[in-house]
Amino acid sequence: MTKNLITLLNALAVFAVLLLLWQGLCLVLHLPPYMLPRPLTVGHAVIARFPSLVASLAITTEEAAGGLIASIVAGLLISLVFAQSRWIRRMFYPYTILLQTVPIVAIAPLILMWVGPGLLSVTLVAFIICLAPIIANTTQGLISVEPNLIHLFLMHNASRLQILTRLRLPHAVPSLFVGIRIAAGISVIGAITGELFAGSTRVGEGGLGYSILYASAQLQTDYLFALVLAATVLGFAFFFLVMFLEWYFLHNWHESARATSDE
């Protein structure tokens, strides 16, 4: 846990240095605020428009979290099916890769067209972008059990179900978390991408993506920066929440929860 804290502090220190450089650069080059607002101006924008910023943030959080949680549930179920046989994997695995390689910006407008703009369609975009890493990692975890452990279970006449619930599933938990960690970061990207096409998802207001479009059209560059900052904070929050959960569930037994190395 202290290790996580140190990681956090290091990241914050780098952030502070970057802010200082940024402020210095604006002062030295005399850049107009609509090109590059100073950090302090951005700070003012955050405070002045705090309620609408928080409202946008809440919408995006809801969509990203919804997509992420749905992808964990669906990804785990799909992985359980994939783990059953090599043939199933051979038949369906290429589609998982397809899911990962098709650019989400190209699919997002389609989904919006099919499902209609709103919270659901944006959540769906986040869900799709999160699914592939969850499936890929969890399936790997389920099937990469050491042969001798399977032999051990067989020697005790374990059923297929017992091998799944008592061996494969717990063995896959660290890999599942690797998938969730990747998915948590990109869920925010997915939600914002969806919002760029979705317009306002609630009457009169939209998520961060919608507000970013709006702010850039209005040349409100300081608020645009505030929104980008909010998106970054959201991504970080997700990442650290997942890291905490990972630590909570795995610190007793798994190396990856104590160091960054993975077996």
Partner 1 sequence: MSAELQVPEVSLASVTKSYGGGPPILQQIDLTIAKGEFVSLIGPSGCGKSTLLKLISGLTSITSGTILVDGMTPVDARETVSYIFQDATLLPWRTVTSNVGLGLELERVSREVRNQKVQSLLELVGLTHVARAYPRQLSGGMKMRVSVARALATKPRLLLMDEPFGALDEMTRDRLNEELLRLKAEQNWTAVFVTHSVAEAVFLSTRILVLAPSPGRVAREISIDLPSPRTSDTREMPQFESFVTEVSRALRGVQHA
Contact footprint for partner 1 (CB under 8 A): 146, 148-149, 151-158, 162, 166-167, 170-171, 173, 252-255
User: Is residue 108 a contact partner of residue 197, using CB atoms and an 8 Å limit?
Assistant: yes
Closer by beta carbon to partner 1, 35 or else 149: 149
C-alpha span between 192 and 59 (Å, rounded): 10
Residue 255 CB, nearest distance to partner 1 (Å)?
Answer: 7
Closer by beta carbon to partner 1, 30 or else 151: 151
Closer by beta carbon to partner 1, 5 or else 161: 161
Buried b (16+ CB within 10 A) or exposed e, 86-95: eeebeeeeee
What's the 3-state SS for 111-128?
HHHHHCCCHHHHHHHHHH
Residue 240 CB, nearest distance to partner 1 (Å)?
Answer: 24
Residue 254 CB, nearest distance to partner 1 (Å)?
Answer: 7
Closer by beta carbon to partner 1, 252 or else 261: 252
Residue 212 CB, nearest distance to partner 1 (Å)?
Answer: 43
- The four Cα atoms 211, 214, 215, 217 give a dihedral, to 10 degrees, of 160
Residue 227 CB, nearest distance to partner 1 (Å)?
Answer: 42
Buried b (16+ CB within 10 A) or exposed e, 31-66: eeeeebbbbebbbebbeebeeebebbbebbbbbbbb
Closer by beta carbon to partner 1, 129 or else 167: 167
Tokens of 128: 């799709």
